[in-house]
Amino acid sequence: MSDINIDNWWLPFTNVRAFQDNPRIFSRAEGCFLYKQDGSEVLDITAGLWCCNVGHGRREIADAVHKQLMTLDYAPPFQFGTPPGFEFAQRITQHTPADINRVFFTNSGSEAVDTALKIAHLYQHARDKGGKQRFISREQGYHGVNVGGTSMQGLPTNRHGFPVLDRVDFLPGMLDISRNAFSRGSPAHGTEEMAAAFENIVAMRGADSICAVIIEPVSGAGGMVPPPQGYLKKVRELCDKHDILLIFDEVITGFGRTGSAFAATEFDVVPDIMTTAKGINGGTVPMGAVLIKDEIQQAIFDAAPNTLPEFFHGNTYAGAPVAAAAGLAAMDIYEQEGLLTCGSGEKGKYWEDALHSLADLPQVIDIRNYGLLGAVSFDPMELPAKSLGPKIHQRCFDNGLLCRAVGDNMVMSPPLSISHQEIDLFISRFRQSVTEVL
């Protein structure tokens, strides 16, 4: 039991009353491990919340943050700039597709999503297509918690009861266990159904009314679902055909998660706008970013009066020097240790084989993986739906393993710096926990 007062902090996405009965508090972290208050270790197979991609407690980042705080802690980003902000923006664009070179910093993925939606709107107005106001999102999609992102949510519990924009249609979700179970990488089925649904939406609403499609290249919070073969190329093709912008929400997939720096590169599809956050500086200082095609920024600039800001939008801490310094240090680690691409190499293969070795566990109905992402889905049998996942999650935690339950799917996204030995430890603790529950 904790000796600290836990009454005042209202935790996000948490059943607070259950938490108060069973507080789970971390007090230290290093490498791939978090440590509870009693000193016991927990193997972090979620990289915090898909963000601590370079592992915990990296001295290089801590030193860079300290140095930056003592050099220039803060300067306003409205009408002023700082060296780390410009340098980090440039470093990021060394890893984006060739036409995507403009970076608008935010403080989170949610802000990046709402910013991207505004930029898409502004662009349509700039080229006299202001009637294009609708969006297409996808069932099971997660796009953060601000009003725009909440409106794009394909997870009903995250929309229910909140004020949302009503001009949104949804493509079908990608999880199809009946046809794609136990696929490795991109599964075979689903692209044709998506294309048919896309065309139906366009036929129903009219292409002249649709501003943009927003999708996660790999569905994350919806249960870690890779796109079926050819899916993202087909989306790009349909967007081009109907003159609709394509936004990739790369808040999770950015910074090495899929085996390339960004999923856009991994799947060889260039979106018009990308959002990112999470791994941007290794989960150390809040930061997100919108990455924009040059021609979109240019069109917005061309349409704006040259005496005013081209974009009436921004956050106090946008591109904050400390966050950018952390990003530069994280980028050094990503590049020097080959972490941005390790998921498509030998480590990704080791991860895939390890994950699929769990297929003999009871009630497993699917295992899927991409890069250093993975999920194991369970049939809850006689239990109510979505109650087995939390039970396995708790048992894993008790046994020193942090993974994530999304309903009855156990979802994994280890630090990219994870070793083979730590992957083996994950497998043995997961196996033990599931065996104890079932």
Selected from 212, 252, 300, 330, the binder of ligand PLP by CB under 6 A is: 252
Q: In this structure, what are the phi and psi dihedrals at residue 243, rounded to the nearest 5 degrees?
A: 55, 50
Instruction: Give the total of residues touching ligand PLP (CB under 6 A).
Output: 15
| Residue span binding ligand PLP (CB under 6 A) among the ranges 55-63, 202-210, 245-253, 294-302 | 245-253
Question: In this structure, what token pair is assigned to residue 148?
Answer: 């725009």
* Residue 220 touches ligand PLP, criterion: CB under 6 A: yes
Segment contacting ligand PLP by CB under 6 A, of 30-38, 248-256, 259-267, 343-351: 248-256
Pairing of strands 168-171, 134-138: parallel
288 vs 319 by CB, closer to ligand PLP: 288
Burial 84-117 (b: 16+ CB within 10 A, else e): bbeebbebbbebbbeebbbbbbbbbbbbbbbbbb
Rounded to a whole number of angstroms, the minimum distance from the CB of residue 57 to ligand PLP is 21
- Whichever of 180 and 219 has its CB closer to ligand PLP, that residue is 219
Dihedral sign of CA atoms 98, 99, 101, 107 in order: negative
Q: Give yes or no for residue 405 binding ligand PLP (CB under 6 A).
A: no
> Locate tokens 């140095």: which residue?
67
Beta partners for residue 134, in sequence order: 210
Does 251 contact ligand PLP by CB under 6 A?
yes
Dihedral of CA atoms 69, 75, 77, 80 in degrees, nearest 10, equals -130
The closest residue (CB) to ligand PLP is 109
- Closer CB to ligand PLP, 31 or 109, in the complex: 109
- By beta-carbon proximity to ligand PLP, the closer residue of 149 and 348 is 149
> Which one among 214, 221, 339, 406 touches ligand PLP, defined by CB under 6 A?
221
Q: How far is the CB of 251 from ligand PLP (least distance, A)?
A: 4
Restricted to residues 103-162, the positions that interact with ligand PLP (CB under 6 A) are 108-110, 113, 142-144
392 SS3 class: helix
- Give the residue with the Cβ less far from ligand PLP, 142 or 429: 142
Closer of 252 and 318 to ligand PLP (Cβ): 252
What are the tokens at 119? Answer: 């930029």
Give me the least distance between CB of 384 and ligand PLP, in Å please. 25
Residues whose CB is less than 8 angstroms from the CB of residue 250 and which lie 6 or more positions away in sequence, other chains included? 216, 217, 262, 263, 264, 274, 275, 276
Phi and psi at residue 63, in whole multiples of 5°? -65, -40
Instruction: Enumerate binding residues for ligand PLP (CB under 6 A).
Output: 108-110, 113, 142-144, 216, 220-221, 249, 251-252, 277, 288
